[in-house]
Structure 1
């Protein structure tokens, strides 16, 4: 909220430009907008003691997740003004406040934004007509959902223009504010980052409960800090089908995803298989990077070899230009190398590429992939406005899942050869003995003894000194009626662990018949 107020105060001199912001090619659907106040009861937010009064806190302590939803509407209602989005700022993390308290908070923010000589231009900016209609009836049908994460500590409405645009093209877009782990203030650390990532995961779950959302088609999108939090969310949930990062902090804050001691250790290239669109600002010079001490020694985007990755560089855009709020209110002086009009045009093209990317991977639109693969000028992009760098997935991710999928296609008799092919590409890939035993045991439970035999044979190949693996192979042989083979496996197990009484009992039973 503080960022919004400061930006408004800085930008009132140029608010005449605000109403001019618009995205070319709006979709066929009217857009509805609503706000849901809900809690994630699995996470605590308020402490047991009120940190202001020192008294016991008696309200709801679960994490509040203010939820903004843009969606295809049944019909166009009264269009909102930009000022209407300020109504969402009265209760971002405090739903228990009275209506009067919320109104006072909103009024205080507006009074600050419209004070003194800024009054007239501010009123023009706030009155700018938007596309969405508040609480319009939702259109029937099921649409893909996109969960949006805003920038560091900012409000959920910081990219309302893009959210409206996507909704007009048949997406349900859901956003919540960037809120810290235990207070409204976001913190620049892993706790804060994972709090926002968890909010996005919560919203993805909420999206699946909505009657107008297709639960099988969900993507995540984020700007700046939110464009790093959504990568964490995707690394944790492979049901996420597409990732959009708007100049996301995977570059500026790579220490959270580089596998170091400060990183989220589950963010691994093999777990990032969802297609990604990274839309970045014009690059810094080497001198600027050196001056600000930015660490560019690690690139997550270069490591994402198991996902289709599209990197767009928007030459007229600086980092802040990916926030439509900033484009509306930033002063003219902040547009140094390019004009506001050029940055706004680039934002419009970025929005179009976001939509075509989502169309490709969430809607299965066959024309979307061709659009993404084209040179920008072939799509009508003005020369020199943007540069593309496309890296299609080089190979499947080396995981237990990918190995299982391959054996499901080619047959389990191919287990050792398939494993060797994966390790030839990715030598670090391993299957732990426990994972193999659980896999083989699961096949036995489902009556697939022949397949289980091949999995335990893989286990024996990898761990020839593991007596438990020999037991698994013996169990598979017994299920197939192969008594002699089972006896040989138990015998080998006893050679490895001579004191195992149960294994000796099994072998004696086989040999006595």
Structure 2
């Protein structure tokens, strides 16, 4: 049973990178991560919700029964409740959630290390008893907090990065996660495109779930994903305007750009929010050869090259291999003596990855100037040891917002509230120019069509606000009112046109006719 399940987890090409052959057992503890928690205590809740629009089967029930798709939700959040008399969660408490998500709810706890690929060593047994910084089911703190939707790696648990999630919650963020499950059952199919879409829909379910929580600031939502979770997060951002930032923990979008291209929703130009990608160390030549891994994985990042409309932070962590971007990875994964650093070096880099994640979220969601400076600094100026991290920052290309772009947005809202639309666009694009002649032609095209006459008037009202000294625009606005039968407003605007240009023959002629 264990062997079959292990094989199923290797159905993706990228898992060649993550194999831990020639391994040695890690000797770590939570204390060695040494994360500096913030001012809040951390609350944790876990519950099951259901997506009634999709069906699902429990794979090991061996029945044909279909149920509504279960979404197991884990939430870390700030709390100010007095927890002096409470006991924090242990690592074992989290792994009991892993049992539930793997649909082995009744598995005895003394079998966890054997069952889920972790060596049943005395060191790992001690890890299970270690205390975390989260408290179950304590009160939510009052107020609204920026929120991070976390997507796990390939078929992984919602709690795979619990130390990072606790760390963010202690600094005033809400983190919401669910397990990475296949479309039909717990296991992924061989259809990558289908499974990416399933993960994206699960994420969108969590975004809606976040909207039900009184302490979530729905205007400040970011996505964070590890490995396979990074792929689906790109799709979610492409089709959800309320996403404000993306954090990728060695996300597979770096390695499988072709999987993104299979989605009808993907468009690199739609990535218009800040994006931070944290990558593993270069894979050594020995590992490339022995594991038959394409060497281009060390150098090619097609998505990074394709992003033009957002700021991108690209960081490479020279002491981290892929597995160690997750809490369970740094605690339990066996070390590969061909490439892995020492436990202390891995822990130090994981801490820096957490710090960069926090500062990126503070900078993008909370507009914190100190955090923005941290992200702009070189790693050395942030106190990072030499050769631990290298960073590239790519600025968005200057966007040219053309009249056609403005007109498309105006059309989308039926040419209503055009002044507010113009102001919002001008704030993002200070160099915005809306030519007077274009507005005049568009307004006349609309106003002389009986079905869109009022829309044409709205265009002229914007035009005269932008060009208040244009005799021609007031003349056209007056013609529009005259076409619609509003003689009083026609006279008023012909007179404005004539005042600006006393030689306007059309205004003179029209006023003579209207005043007979």
Shared fold, TM over 0.5: yes
- Of the three residues 343, 346, 349, the one matched with 1:346 is 349
Equivalent residue of 1:216, what SS?
strand
Query: Among residues 63, 87, 94, which one is paired with 1:78 in the alignment?
Result: 87
Deviation at 1:447, TM superposition (A): 6.1
Change (3 A) 1:388 1:15: closer
Contact 1:320 1:326 in 2 (8 A): yes
Q: What residue is the counterpart of 1:17 in the other structure?
A: 28
Q: CA deviation at 1:256?
A: 2.2
Q: Which of the numbers 58, 62, 65 marks the counterpart of 1:52?
A: 62
Stretches of structure 2 that go unaligned for 5 or more consecutive residues are: 10-17, 411-420, 465-478, 491-516
Structure 1 residues 11 and 221, CA gap change in structure 2 (3 angstroms): farther
Query: Which residue pairs with 1:280 in the alignment?
Result: 279
* Partner of residue 35, structure 1: 46
Structure 1 pair 416/64, CA: closer, same or farther in 2 (3 Å)? farther
**Helix, strand or coil: the match of 2:155?**
coil
Q: Deviations over 1:289-309 (max 9, x none)?
A: 995345776611122121111
**1:265 counterpart residue number:** 264
Secondary structure at the aligned position of 1:141 is classed as: coil
Match for residue 142 of structure 1 among 144, 158, 173: 144
State which of 230, 233, 237 in structure 1 corresponds to 2:236: 233
Pair 1:201-2:204 in alignment: yes
In 2, Cα distance between equivalents of 1:53 and 1:309: 47
Aligned to 2:12: none
User: How far 1:14 moved relative to its partner?
Assistant: 3.5
**Equivalent runs, 1:102-501 vs 2, <5 Å:** 102-104=105-107, 108-110=111-113, 112=115, 118-187=120-189, 189-258=192-261, 262=262, 264-284=263-283, 288=288, 292-293=293-294, 299-334=302-337, 336-396=339-399, 400=405, 414-416=433-435, 444=454, 448-450=458-460, 478=483
TM-superposed deviation, 1:265: 2.9
**SS of the residue 1:238 aligns to:** coil
SS for the counterpart of 2:95 is: helix
Structure 1 residue 161 displacement after superposition: 0.9
- Report the count of equivalent residues: 442
Aligned-pair distance for 1:257?
A: 2.6
Q: Is the 8 A contact 2:92 2:129 kept in 1?
A: yes
Deviation string for 1:344-388 (max 9, x for gaps)?
111110110110000011111111111111111111111110011
Q: Distance in 1 between matches of 2:79 and 2:22?
A: 33
Contact 1:452/1:476, CA 8 A, preserved across alignment: no
SS in 1 for 2:253: coil
1:442 and 1:182 map into 2 onto residues whose CA distance is 49
Question: Where does residue 414 of structure 2 map in the other structure?
Answer: none
In structure 2, distance between residues paired with 1:83 and 1:143: 28
Q: 1:3 to 1:247 in 2, by over 3 A?
A: farther
Structure 1 residue 391 displacement after superposition: 1.2
Contact (CA 8 Å) 1:12, 1:329: kept in 2 or not? no
In structure 2, the residue matched to 1:88 is 97
For residues 396 and 238 of structure 1, do their structure 2 counterparts lie closer, same or farther at Cα, with a shift above 3 Å needed? Answer: farther
The reply on whether 1:69 has 2:114 as its aligned counterpart is: no
Residue 14 of structure 1 contacts residue 331 of structure 1 at CA under 8 Å; is this kept in 2? yes
Q: Per-residue deviation at 1:113?
A: 6.2
8 Å contact kept, 2:21–2:336: no
Look up the SS of the partner of 1:129 in the other structure.
coil
Per-residue CA deviation, residues 296-337 of structure 1 (Å, 9 max, x unaligned), is 766111221211111111111111111221110122445725
Q: CA separation in 2, counterparts of 1:377 and 1:350?
A: 14
Cα distance in 2 between the residues matched to 1:17 and 1:443: 72
Which residue of structure 2 aligns with residue 466 of structure 1?
Answer: none
Cα distance between partner residues in 1 of 2:158 and 2:437: 46
| Alpha-carbon distance change, 93 to 122 in structure 1, aligned in 2, over 3 angstroms | closer
Structure 1 regions of 5+ residues with no counterpart?
95-100, 420-432, 455-473, 484-513
In structure 2, relative to structure 1, the CA distance for the partners of 1:28 and 1:46 (3 Å cut) is same
1:250 counterpart SS class:
helix
Q: Is the 8 A contact 1:27 1:165 kept in 2?
A: yes
Shift, 1:89, TM fit? 2.6
Residue pair 1:270, 1:398 contacting (<8 A) in 2 also: no
Q: Is the 8 A contact 1:407 1:414 kept in 2?
A: no
